[in-house]
Amino acid sequence: MKKLWAGRFREKTAKSVESFTESISFDYRLWRYDIEGSIAHAKMLAKQSIISHEDSEKIIKALKEIAKEIQGGKFIFRVDLEDIHMNIEAALIRKIGEAGGKLHTARSRNDQISLDLRLYLREETKEILMLIKKFQYTLLSIATKHLTVVMPGYTHLQRAQPVLLSHHLLAYAEMLQRDRERLRDAYKRINVLPLGASALAGTSFPIDRGYVAKLLGFEDVSKNSVDTVSDRDFALEFLSNTAILTMHLSRFAEELVLWSTHEFGYIELPEAFSTGSSAMPQKKNPDVAELIRGKTGRVYGNLFSVLTIMKGLPLSYNRDLQEDKPALFDTVDTVKSCLSVLDEMLPNVMFNAERLRKAAEEEYLTATDIAEYLVRGGLPFRKAHEVTGRLVSYCVGRKKKLEELTIKELKKFSPLISEDIYAFLSPEESVRRKKSIGSTSPEEVRRQIKRLQKVVSKN
Residues forming the active site? 156, 277
Amino acid at 182: R
375 vs 383: CA distance, rounded Å: 9
107 vs 101: CA distance, rounded Å: 12
Which candidate, 10, 11, 21, 26, places its Cα nearest to that of 81? 21
Query: In Å, how far are 35, 187, 393 from 126, measured between CA atoms?
Result: 20, 9, 55
339 vs 132: CA distance, rounded Å: 7
Instruction: Indicate the SS3 state at residue 387.
Output: helix
Amino acid at 288: V
Amino acid at 51: I
Q: What are phi and psi of 13, to 5 degrees?
A: -70, 135
Task: Map 158-203 to HEC letters.
Answer: EEEEEEEHHHHHHHHHHHHHHHHHHHHHHHHHHCEECCCCCCCCCC
Residues ≥6 apart with Cβ < 8 Å to 349: 256, 267, 268, 269, 270
Amino acid at 127: E
Strand ranges, E, within 300-347: none
Q: How many other β-carbons are positioned within 10 Å of the β-carbon of residue 73?
A: 7
Instruction: Indicate the SS3 state at residue 314.
Output: coil
Do 299 and 246 form a contact (C-beta atoms < 8 A)?
yes
Which candidate, 328, 338, 341, 310, places its Cα nearest to that of 124? 328
Q: Which secondary-structure segment (H or E) carries 152?
A: strand 150-155
User: CA torsion sign, 411 to 414 to 420 to 423?
Assistant: negative
Integer distance in angstroms from the first to the last C-alpha of the chain? Answer: 50
Query: In Å, how far are 20, 246, 352, 354 from 348, measured between CA atoms?
Result: 47, 21, 13, 18
